[in-house]
Amino acid sequence: MKEFQLIEHFFNRRGQTRRDVELGIGDDCALVQAAPNKSIAISCDTLVENVHFYPDIPPQALGYKSLAVNLSDLASMGAEPAWMTLALTLPDVDETWLEQFSTGLFDAAEYYGVSLIGGDTTRGPRAISITINGLVPTGTALTRSGAKNGDWIYVTGTLGDSALGLDVIRGNRRVDVEYNEYLINRHYYPTPRVLAGQSLRNLATSAIDLSDGLASDILHVLKRSQVGAVIDVDLLPLSQAVKDSVSEQEAISYALTGGEDYELLFTVPEAQKGALETALANACVEFTQVGQVTSDKQLRLIRNGEAFNLTNIGFEHFS
């Protein structure tokens, strides 16, 4: 199967067809209609074999996750998903692999209302690059730079599940059989908090998605906002699977540095706490207050009221 046959068979005219797409796959460029009074949020993520995923990952899970990690970036800005392009690098044409991968990709695309409007395919070591576009009402996008002294710090969901799930997959951890599937699925099928992000518009002062671990990702917010923070590690939300499978110290480490949870971390002023509870309850998303923004431009972790030292800060490329 040649390049254009591959595109036509596995990707063209599949998934969501949005009315604002004038011209999709098949030309030199795609054409979309920009909505009035809305900004376009754009993000790009690349997943590389043996860096972001292992060769034995189920192709359907890889297809889903490739889009989910991009959707999480849109969620952190409060944007509505709209269009994506896909650059797919493959060592060869494996039709079974492509069928499963594209199924996972379009499962996510259809659920979140995303149209595939173009991209590229090439031969080489397996890698997936997706550029995603979303829409957000002008002036309401969440950023990393708005946190203020005294704001409360929250996270959605639970932390550490994905990293522990990866250790289970790699055979580095053994857990009770009742938690096995849950943890593996939290790694393979993360939930981008798209609706939660939209609910935080006009409430949160800053937001970021947790891809590299809370201890690492919050530093981006602190740097851009020119503030500091205190995080109480006793407040970190942990699933029953994590709490029952590892020691308390290990659970904290997974939650702070494990990465790939794709939950949202966000800051909210005192005056908006009541509205926040209503907004996220309507979005059916659990959230937990884990700390507070400070003015000293330092990140401090505490446990039982005392300083908590962390040696591993989180994942970083080229470190």
Residues comprising the binding site for Mg(2+)? 28, 43, 45, 73, 120, 209, 212
What's the token pair of residue 3? 């390049």
Q: Which residues are part of a known binding site for ATP?
A: 119-120, 144, 211
CA distance 23 to 9: 18
Q: Residues marked as binding for substrate?
A: 52, 260, 315
Distance in angstroms (rounded) separating the CA atoms of residues 21 and 183: 37
- Could you tell me which residues are annotated as the binding site? 28, 43, 45, 52, 73, 119-120, 144, 209, 211-212, 260, 315
